Amino acid sequence: MTDADQLRLLAVHAHPDDESSKGAATMAKYVAEGARVMVATCTGGERGSVLNPALDKPEVWERLPQIRTEEMARAREILGVEQEFLGFVDSGLPEGDPLPPLPEGCFALVPLEEAAAPLVALIRRFRPHVVTTYDERGGYPHPDHIKTHEISVHAFEAAGDPDRYPELGEPWQPSKLYYHMSFTLPRTRALHEAVLASGGESPYAEWLENWDPENDISHRVTTKVPCAEYFDVRDAALIAHATQIDPTGRWFAVPMDLQQRVWPTEDYELARSLVDAPVPEDDLFAGIRSEVTVR
C-alpha cells in the first residue's frame, strides 16, 4: 500500500491514558479498516496521581514517570496505533483557593509558537487527513488539556503554510479538525436511565444533578462514529494505564452490552473542514474517502 492510498488520523492528547478514554474505539475501528492512526502525547504525565488504590504504593510513586511510559506502550499495542511523545512536562492540576502558580517550565506555560512546533513537525511528517483534539475548554479545565487544544488549532492552521515554521519540513494541510464530545448530556442521561431500568445503580446520578445547562455544549455534536464492537478494545487499552484507572470504578460501572446497545457511537464536533462534508456525519473521513482509498 502506498502512502497516497492510506487514510491517516492524528489524535492529539495531553497525557498518557487520555487517548484510551477519548476516541479509543474510533481509533481501533479505523486501524482495523486499514487506516494509519497516530497518537501525539504532549506530556509524559509526570505530575499525575496514582488513581488506582491497588497501586497507591511508595515504589509506584517513585517510578511513576517511567511506569506511565510503559503503560502507554501497552495501550498503544492494544489499540494498534502509532504514538509519539512531544516532549513537554506535565503541568499538574492546580488545586486550592486561590490556585497556586503553575510549575516553571511546564507545558501550559510554554509560549504557543514554541509549544506547537513539535506538533507542526509531526503533522508534516505523518501527513494526517484528520486531526482530533479537545475543545476550547479542554474537555475539562486541566491546563494541559487547554494547551493541547491551543497547539492543535495552531498547528492545524500552520502546518500547511510554507511561510510558517519553514525549518520543520514540507507543508501539509490536514483536511478536517474534530473535537471530542465524550460526555454529552444526551449520552450521559441515556446511559443513566438504561442502568436504572435494568435495576442497577447509575454512576452518573451526581453528574446529572449538578449539570450546568448554561455551560452545556451537547448541541455542538456533528459526528457520531459507530464503533460499539471496539468498546472492549477501548476498555483494554484503558486498563493498561493501571496507575490511572481503578478497574472497579466508575469507568466500568455500566455493563458493556448496555453501552453497546444504548449509545454505540463516539461523538465529535467538526471544528474545521476544508472538504465538502455535510453534517451530521458518521465518519471522520467523510468527504476524504473519494480521494484516498483504504485497500
pLDDT, one tens digit per residue, over 35-52 is 999 999 999 999 989 999
**139 band by pLDDT with thresholds 50, 70 and 90:** confident
- Quick one: average pLDDT of 273-288? 95
- How confident is the prediction for the chain on average, in pLDDT? 94
- Give the residue-averaged pLDDT of 260-267: 98
Distance between CA 97 and CA 88 in Å, rounded? 26
Those residues with Cβ within 8 angstroms of residue 3's Cβ, 6 or more apart along the chain or in another chain? 127
Give the residues across from 224 on adjacent strands: 267
Going by pLDDT thresholds of 50, 70 and 90, the confidence category of residue 95 is confident
What percent of the chain clears pLDDT 90, i.e. is strictly above it? 86
pLDDT score of 52: 93
Which residue, chain included where needed, has cell 444533578?
A: 209
Question: Model confidence at 293, in pLDDT bands (50, 70, 90)?
Answer: low
User: In 3-state terms, what secondary structure has residue 176?
Assistant: strand
Taking 70 as the threshold, does the pLDDT of residue 3 lie above it?
no
Q: Assign 290 a pLDDT band (cuts: 50, 70, 90).
A: confident
Q: What pLDDT is attached to residue 278?
A: 92
Task: Decide if pLDDT at 4 tops 80.
Answer: no
If pLDDT is split at 50, 70 and 90, which confidence band does 225 have? very high
At 163-200, the pLDDT tens digits run: 999 999 999 999 999 999 998 999 999 999 999 999 99
Asked whether the predicted pLDDT for residue 12 surpasses 70, the reply is: yes
Assess whether pLDDT exceeds 50 at residue 295. no
Q: What is the rounded CA–CA span in Å between residue 135 and residue 128?
A: 19
- Indicate if the pLDDT at residue 249 is higher than 90: no
pLDDT of 248 strictly over 90? no
According to DSSP, the residues that pair with 178 across neighbouring strands are 132, 270
Give the whole-angstrom CA distance, residue 196 versus residue 188.
12
Residue 189, all three cell numbers: 442521561
Confidence (pLDDT) at 272:
97
